[in-house]
Amino acid sequence: MSASLIAQSISKAFVTGKIRAQVLSDLSLEIAPAELSLVSGPSGCGKSTLLAILSGLLRPDAGHVVALGEDLARLSADQRERFRLRHTGFVFQGFNLFPALTALEQVMLPLGYLGFSKAAARQRAGSVLDEVGLSPRLHLRPAELSGGEKQRVAIARALAKEPQLLFADEPTSALDAANGQIVIDTLHRIAHTHGATVLCVSHDPRLIAHADRVLAMEDGKILSDRRVRPAVNEEVVP
């Protein structure tokens, strides 16, 4: 299966005054669709920076990223923004929900930017909230939801656009074990049932057993790359 995300010789440094911190160093990788790929490693190893570059939120100092066949370096800022709107979804550690909106309204919000009518957006939002098990909670606001429920609303909001690329940045770090389990199972199911490319970065060791592929990262480099489950196009030989 061809890769949906390709990074070639990516490097990135941040400069603060006279201090230059090299975050990524000549990093290359390919990510396939229809599976959950986990980039695992300690805090500060460059995971979130890598995610930002692969999603087009941040430009590398060197190297380039090809996402769904598009060389992101060749796109203007407006073109990258349109690409993210149409093709990508994001799930963050802090949920990023609006306090005044219900779960249903949270999920409907990005659909308006894609030209959905209010009725169509309501129907799509209700469907994806049902998929993540939140139909009984769709009229509640964030203050009335648990941490795990908030994260599932955030996943539903990302999923409503039917993105080909779904990026998750430390999606379980603010959750207890039970809710973390539900969230990672949901992300894994999305990859397999929707054929999406799901890329998750986390230092949470609980996620490793639930990924299809685990890339261990340290000091801005990929140290190991192992498959936890066979690729979707590989036959399992008994």
CATH for 35-45+78-227 is 3.40.50.300
Domain map (residue ranges) of the chain = 35-45+78-227
CA distance 123 to 141: 19
Give dist(CA 89, CA 212) in Å, integer: 19
Four-residue CA torsion sign, 234, 188, 200, 162: positive
Tokens describing residue 76: 């203007």
- pTM over 0.85? The answer is yes
Does residue 179 contact residue 147 with C-beta atoms inside 8 Å? yes
Tens of pLDDT, residue by residue, the chain (238 residues)? 689 999 999 999 999 999 999 999 999 999 999 999 999 988 888 999 999 999 999 999 999 999 999 999 899 989 999 999 899 999 988 889 999 999 999 999 999 989 999 999 999 999 999 999 999 999 999 999 999 999 999 999 999 999 999 999 999 988 888 888 888 889 999 999 999 999 999 988 888 888 999 999 999 999 999 988 666 554 433 3
* Dihedral of the alpha carbons of 100, 104, 105, 109, in degrees to the nearest 10: 140
